[in-house]
Amino acid sequence: MISRLEELYSQVLLELGEDINREGLQKTPHRVAEAMQFVTQGYHQDLVTIVNDAIFHESSDDMVVVRDIEFFSMCEHHMFPFFGHANVAYIPDGKIIGLSKLARIVDMFARRLQVQERMTAQIAEAVDEVLAPAGVAVVIKARHLCMMARGVEKKSSEMITSHVLGAFRKDRATRAELMDLLNSHTGPY
C-alpha cells in the first residue's frame, strides 16, 4: 500500500506544479504515504482485538468517567485534520473495562476518515456493545482545520458533540451529574 500511495502523492505534487526532484520534496511522497497509513490505521483495527479480554466483573454501579482523551482524526470531506478531547462515561452493570481500552476505542474510530458526529456515536455504541452497561455517554470537543484554515477561516471555532445511551438518555439528573463532572476542575491534573 505504501508504494502505491507514494506514487499517487508524487502525482499530486506534480499536479500542484511542484518539482518532486528538488531536495525538500524527494522523500515527501513516501513520508506522506506513511503518515496517511498511520492516521487511518483504525480501518484495520477491530473492537474485539482492542478490548483483548480486558473486561472485569465488578459489582460497582457508580458512574465511571474518563475525561480529556486526546485524539486526532481526519475530516472525510476535505481530508484536513480535526483534533480535540473525548470524554467517555458509563454506568457499570456488573462489568468494567480496563482504563486504557477506552482511549484505544477512541483512537480506533478517530484513526479513520471521519465526521465528528459519527465518531461520537461509534465510540458510545462500541462501549455499549462490550459492556452492556446501564448507560454510556460520549462528549467530544474538537477543532477542525477544514473550518479554521480554509473556507470561513474561523480560527477559534470548536465543535461539541454528544451521544448518550441508557440512563444518560433517560434520566436528566444522571446527565446533569455527568456534565458537572466534565465541567469541574479538581486540581493540578
Residue tagged active-site, from 6, 114, 122, 144: 144
Active site residue 37: no
Domain 54-183: which CATH number of 3.90.1530.10, 3.40.50.300, 3.40.50.10470, 3.30.1130.10 = 3.30.1130.10
What's the pLDDT at 46?
96
CB 69 within 8 A of CB 85: yes
Mean pLDDT for 18-32 is 95
- Domain boundaries along the sequence of the chain: 2-39, 54-183
Q: 62: helix, coil or strand?
A: coil
What pLDDT band is residue 147 in, cutting at 50, 70 and 90? confident
- Concerning whether 75 is annotated as a catalytic residue, the answer is yes
pLDDT number for residue 155: 81
Rg (CA), the chain: 20
> Exposed, middle or buried: residue 167 (CB in 10 Å: 0-12, 13-18, 19+)?
buried
Question: What is the DSSP secondary-structure string of 87-145?
Answer: EEEEE-SSEEE-HHHHHHHHHHHHSSEE-HHHHHHHHHHHHHHHH--SEEEEEEEEEEH
Tell me whether residue 57 is one of the annotated catalytic residues: no
The yes-or-no answer on residue 163 being catalytic is no
Is residue 119 pLDDT above 60, yes or no?
A: yes
pLDDT range class, residue 65, cuts 50, 70, 90: very high
Q: Which of the residues 7, 34, 41, 77 is marked catalytic? A: 77
The residue annotated as part of the active site, out of 76, 117, 129, 158, is 76
Does the pLDDT value for residue 187 go beyond 80? no
Q: Are the C-beta atoms of residues 116 and 155 closer than 8 Å to each other? A: no
pLDDT at 154: 77
First to last CA, the chain: 41
| CATH number of the domain located at residue range(s) 2-39 in this protein | 1.10.286.10
Active-site residue, 116 included: yes
114 noted as active-site residue = no
The question of whether 78 is a catalytic residue gets the answer yes
168's enclosing H/E stretch is helix 167-170
Q: Which three cell numbers stand for residue 174?
A: 444522571
CA 49, chain centre distance (Å): 17
Query: Among 15-29, 40-54, 99-113, 144-158, whose mean pLDDT is lowest?
Result: 144-158
Alpha carbons 89 and 8: distance in angstroms, whole number = 41
Q: Which of 137, 125, 129, 126 is nearest to 176 (CA)?
A: 137
**Residue 153, pLDDT score:** 82
Q: With 80 as the cut, is the pLDDT of residue 188 above it?
A: no
Does residue 189 surpass a pLDDT of 70? no
* Res. 84: pLDDT tops 70: yes
> Is residue 167 a contact partner of residue 177, using CB atoms and an 8 Å limit?
no
Neighbouring residues of 70: CB distance < 8 A, sequence distance ≥ 6: 83, 84, 85
